[in-house]
Amino acid sequence: MALRASGLAPYQAALDALTDQSRKRSLAPRVGLDFTSNDYLGLAACARLKAAVTSALARGTPVGAGGSRLLRGNAPEHEALEAKAAAFFRAERTLFFGSGYFANYAVLSTLPQRDDLVVLDALVHASAHEGARAGRAQFTCAAHNDPAAFEKAIQDFRGSGARGRVWMAVESLYSMDGDRAPLDELIALADRHDAMLFIDEAHATGVYGMDGRGLAAELEGRENVLTLHTCGKALGGAGALVAGPRVLCEFLINRCRPFIYSTAPSPLMAAAALEALDILKEEPERRRRLAHLVGAASRAARARGAAHPSGSQILPVIVGEDGRALALATALRERGFDVRAVRPPTVPEGTARLRISVTLNVDEAAIDALFGALAELLAP
């Protein structure tokens, strides 16, 4: 027993160090009003998604897939979703994965080849960084939302004599800052250098673009563009769709180890996503209501001096010090507002923050009350 305890000591020491730095994570229950989820359109508990899943169960859809898509796990619901999503997003093909993290990792660890270069926006999701790290291509980071930094990375790569393809990986709407990628400049760069542009639309899908097709909607269907649309945020369920050229999706089916060797996502989640795509087209008022609430949150934040509005449904309140961010989040939860602190390494050093998320799960009065409470807590 003593030997076992000593073997675990390094792990406990690491946890103690995180506690000392105010960076130890722990699981906390949902409390109060939702200002932290990504359920932007309020679909996660909506009647139509519940009915779609109930109907799928009634007609015999299994809860679990029972195996890999290449074995018996390929359910009719998976194929129906991929066909419908391809038409909805106007892509040649889509491929359904179990999560956005999984899809990002799968794409960037599989498609870029040994002689290629992956250029990651410095603030792109951790899953993209991990996928690039696990793949065979070289990878580097470019300064956030700086097309010139991307171009310099490409020029340096070409200047070294490399002839492989360049892949640029960005988020269309960044999850921690709520700002948008300069997609027009990035696609021009991709065209100029015969590069691929991989766009994670996780926080834009369902919220922006015609019918909620995302911020990159006008780029879908191009040979040098691949997009990722998560089903677990505005679409209210779970999973993710990679959309792009048919040949790349077929390559993933044949060469992507995370896809080949994983049990397929639940067919029930495919059924939910199918219904969510219909909701996006048939209930545009959800996007209009969300846009109204985002405007109300921006006005309240500005009037109270509590945050600098990002222009999106994600409003970061950067407080800098890790312990202070934790204390503010705790105080807000005690007042009935579910707000969470985000600390390094999820965000850059010195930028610990509250990540306030605006969803249809709250109303304008709740938003005003939140920023009033926050202003009180931030007052000197």
**CA distance linking residue 341 with residue 318, whole number of Å:** 10
Looking at the DSSP bridge assignments, the partners of residue 96 are 241
Full DSSP string of 151-173:
HHHHHHHHHTT--S-EEEEEESB
Q: Which of 34, 77, 116, 200 is catalytic?
A: 200
Q: Which of 175, 266, 298, 361 is catalytic?
A: 175
Per-residue pLDDT tens listing for the chain (380 residues): 454 567 888 899 999 999 988 888 888 888 899 999 999 999 999 999 999 999 999 999 999 999 999 999 999 999 999 999 999 999 999 999 999 999 999 999 999 999 999 999 999 999 999 999 999 999 999 999 999 999 999 999 999 999 999 999 999 999 999 999 999 999 999 999 999 999 999 999 999 999 999 999 999 999 999 999 999 999 999 999 999 999 999 999 999 999 999 999 999 999 999 999 999 999 999 999 999 999 999 999 999 887 778 999 999 999 999 999 999 999 999 999 999 999 999 999 999 999 999 999 999 999 999 999 999 999 87
Q: Which of 34, 38, 145, 177 is catalytic?
A: 38
Q: Which of 77, 82, 171, 275 is catalytic?
A: 171
Q: How many residues are present in the chain?
A: 380
Report which DSSP code applies to 309: -
Q: Which of 78, 129, 193, 233 is catalytic?
A: 233
Tokens of 158: 């070409």
171 is catalytic: yes
First to last CA, the chain: 51
42: left (phi over 0), alpha (psi -120 to 50) or beta: left
The counts of H helices and E strands in the chain are: 13, 12
3-state secondary structure at position 120:
strand
292 is catalytic: no
Angle at 95 between CA 91 and CA 101, to 5 degrees: 110
| CA dihedral sign of residues 322, 325, 331, 337 | negative
294-325 in b/e form (b: 16+ CB < 10 A) is bebbbebbeebebbebbebbbbbbbbeebeeb
Q: Mind listing the domains of the chain with CATH numbers?
A: 26-45+284-378 (3.90.1150.10), 61-282 (3.40.640.10)
352-367 in b/e form (b: 16+ CB < 10 A) is bbbbbbbbbbbeeebb
Q: Which of 34, 109, 125, 201 is catalytic?
A: 125
3-state secondary structure at position 140:
strand
| 363 half-sphere exposure, CB direction, 13 A CA radius | 1
193 is catalytic: no
